């Protein structure tokens, strides 16, 4: 604290720190710096809380809760509640999600105000390495000078050639979060977290959904066994899934989108997939009555749907910031940083999606702590991606941390794998959610946990224990010997560890 007070007193600049962006990284950085005694300014061009609170993490989870209710009501009879056939009030579900968003955004505003952070509204653009101009509607309305600057400008949905969103029929997740009514059919391009969550939500609301992924599996970065279990569950929920496939010849005609779904075969090493698509999931085509007839031998299939949702990842918000005026280097659109989140300019830092790496809100918050501690003169440790949990909030949900079984073997480990199926869990049976499993990957040499993967109801809440276990280098013996309450879903973690020890 003393060093921060000195910093504020010794600098001739108005602010010790200026933060660009108020998402999970930006507002966390501002709050931490203010608490450490810095004079802080935060600049935000839209609503406080950034994309995560306003158009990402929070509204999607609110809508996914609505989808869970829709699904539960359809199964109510099996729990002893007889309901008349209901109607999904889509507008009310969206309205509820926006109420949650407003509450969270107001919460961020309150915390910043209480911490004494000076919030300025507008777009920040570097004019010099220490000076930021603030623009609104293209006009300069303000300016800020700071000793240190943290760029937390986030990212925006990526567009693929031929699949450029028009905001009307070809949409991004942002438009998908605020449609006025339930569409009859939708094509979702991209089998990552956003694509899977949106596909499941709309399927539960009554939409016929086709989900298209360029790679051989959904959630390409996850353990193959877990991804396959999720795929089976989504198909059981009525979602048509095409992997190793891409959309071509997309056209919008009136109120429909038409496209060709090309090749459901696994791509070969010499596949003619274009370089723009090489690591990106393409999409299905219009939903037609044939949509359930996808087969490994299908070469080209025409599909039509009301909407095409493009969910193929994001691109960093690194343009338009005037980085060239500050001398900040970028690579492939992302700002280049070292392990302390420091850019090519020593007093300028970058955190969150604009920095690249795993594009997760909690990673941005962790980077905020690293950047602010570094500015304050403290000691930090580089982020270890294998210690960062990943979650997908469909039903069943998916949560993981560390290495997959395949990754561990590729890195030279001899592994022991333990599994526990939720179908054998008393709590899962009582809940009526039998799908999924806990899969734990241990180093056979010393028993330490290398990776943990869960697919099933409540998976995203179980990952906390496994994240701590990974952080503390817990062994299979310790997990197996830890008493878990009965009946709980978390017992499956203990049972998976016991299973590994029996291998």
296 inside domain: yes
390 inside domain: no
Lowest mean pLDDT among 9-23, 72-86, 447-461: 9-23
pLDDT of residue 27: 98
486 is catalytic: yes
List strands edge to edge, sheet with 300-305. Answer: 246-253, 256-262, 300-305
322 and 416 both lie in a single domain: no
Residue 329 falls in which region: left (phi positive, over 0), alpha (psi -120 to 50) or beta: beta
3-state secondary structure labels for all residues of 155-186: EEECCCCCCCCCCCCEECHHHHCCCCCCCCEE
pLDDT of residue 266: 35
204 and 89 both lie in a single domain: no
The domain boundary, picked from 265, 290, 312, lies at 312
Average pLDDT over residues 139-147: 97
Q: How far apart are CA 279 and CA 34, in angstroms?
A: 40
300 and 330 both lie in a single domain: no
Residue 22 β-bridge partners: none
161 inside domain: no
Q: Which of 347, 457, 484, 486 is catalytic?
A: 486
347 and 215 both lie in a single domain: no
387 inside domain: no
Relative orientation angle of helices 193-205 and 224-236, to the nearest 10 degrees: 20
Containing structural domain, residue 471 = 396-502
Chain segment 145-175, per-residue pLDDT in tens? 999 999 999 999 998 899 999 999 999 999 9
41 and 93 both lie in a single domain: yes
201 and 226 both lie in a single domain: yes
CATH code (residue 82)? 3.50.50.60
62 and 201 both lie in a single domain: no
| DSSP element (H, E) containing 148 | strand 139-151
CATH code (residue 408)? 3.30.390.30
The domain boundary, picked from 375, 405, 426, lies at 375
pLDDT of residue 262: 86
Chain segment 186-238, per-residue pLDDT in tens? 999 999 999 999 999 999 999 999 999 999 999 999 999 999 999 999 999 99
* 112-126, 153-167, 300-314 — most confident range: 112-126
Relative orientation angle of helices 90-115 and 24-35, to the nearest 10 degrees: 20
| Residue 161 CB neighbours (<10 A) | 8
For the question of whether the overall pTM of this predicted structure is more than 0.75, the answer is: yes
- Number of structural domains the chain divides into: 3
- Phi, psi (degrees; rounded to nearest 5) at 402: 80, -150
pLDDT of residue 9: 41
Chain segment 342-372, per-residue pLDDT in tens? 999 999 999 999 999 999 999 999 999 999 9
């Amino acid at each position: 604290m003393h060093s921060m007070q000195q910093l504020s007193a010794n600098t001739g600049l108005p602010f010790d720190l200026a933060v660009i962006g108020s998402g999970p990284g930006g507002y966390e950085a501002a709050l931490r710096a203010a608490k450490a005694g810095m004079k802080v300014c935060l600049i935000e061009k839209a609503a406080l809380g950034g994309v995560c609170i306003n158009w990402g993490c929070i509204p999607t989870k609110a809508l996914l809760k609505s989808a869970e209710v829709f699904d539960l009501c359809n199964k109510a009879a099996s729990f002893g509640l007889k309901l008349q056939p209901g109607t999904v009030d889509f507008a009310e579900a969206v309205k509820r999600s926006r109420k949650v968003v407003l509450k969270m955004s107001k919460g961020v505003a309150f915390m910043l105000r209480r911490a004494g952070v000076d919030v300025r509204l507008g777009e920040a653009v570097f004019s010099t390495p220490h000076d930021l101009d603030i623009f609104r509607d293209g006009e300069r309305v303000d300016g800020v000078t700071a000793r240190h600057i943290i760029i937390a400008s986030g990212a925006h949905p990526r567009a693929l050639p031929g699949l450029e969103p028009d905001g009307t029929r070809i949409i991004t997740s942002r438009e998908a979060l605020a449609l006025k009514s339930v569409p009859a059919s939708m094509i979702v391009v991209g089998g990552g977290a956003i694509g899977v969550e949106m596909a499941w939500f709309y399927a539960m609301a009554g939409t016929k959904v086709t989900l298209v992924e360029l790679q051989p599996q959904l959630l390409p970065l996850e353990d193959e066994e877990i991804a396959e279990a999720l795929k089976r569950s989504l198909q059981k929920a009525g979602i048509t899934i095409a992997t190793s496939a891409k959309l071509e010849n997309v056209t919008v005609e009136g109120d429909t989108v038409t496209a060709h779904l090309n090749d459901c075969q696994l791509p070969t090493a010499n596949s003619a997939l274009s370089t723009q698509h090489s690591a990106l999931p393409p999409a299905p085509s219009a939903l037609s009555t044939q949509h359930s007839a996808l087969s490994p031998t299908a070469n080209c299939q025409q599909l039509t749907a009301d909407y095409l949702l493009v969910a193929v990842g994001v691109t960093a918000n690194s343009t338009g910031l005037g980085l060239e005026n500050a001398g900040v280097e970028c690579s492939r659109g992302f700002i280049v940083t070292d392990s302390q989140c420091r850019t090519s300019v020593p007093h300028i830092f970058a955190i969150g999606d604009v920095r690249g790496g795993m594009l997760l809100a909690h990673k941005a918050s962790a980077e905020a702590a690293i950047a602010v501690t570094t500015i304050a003169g403290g000691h930090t440790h580089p982020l270890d991606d294998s210690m960062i949990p990943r979650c997908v909030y469909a039903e069943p949900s998916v949560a993981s941390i560390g290495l997959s079984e395949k990754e561990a073997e590729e890195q030279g480990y001899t592994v022991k794998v333990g599994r526990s199926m939720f179908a054998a869990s008393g709590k899962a049976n009582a809940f009526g959610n039998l799908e999924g499993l806990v899969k734990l990957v241990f180093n056979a040499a010393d028993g330490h946990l290398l990776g943990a993967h869960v697919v099933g109801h409540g998976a995203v809440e179980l990952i906390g224990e496994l994240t701590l276990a990974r952080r503390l280098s817990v062994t299979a013996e310790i997990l197996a010997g830890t008493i878990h309450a009965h009946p709980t879903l978390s017992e499956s973690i203990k049972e998976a560890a016991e299973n590994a020890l029996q291998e």
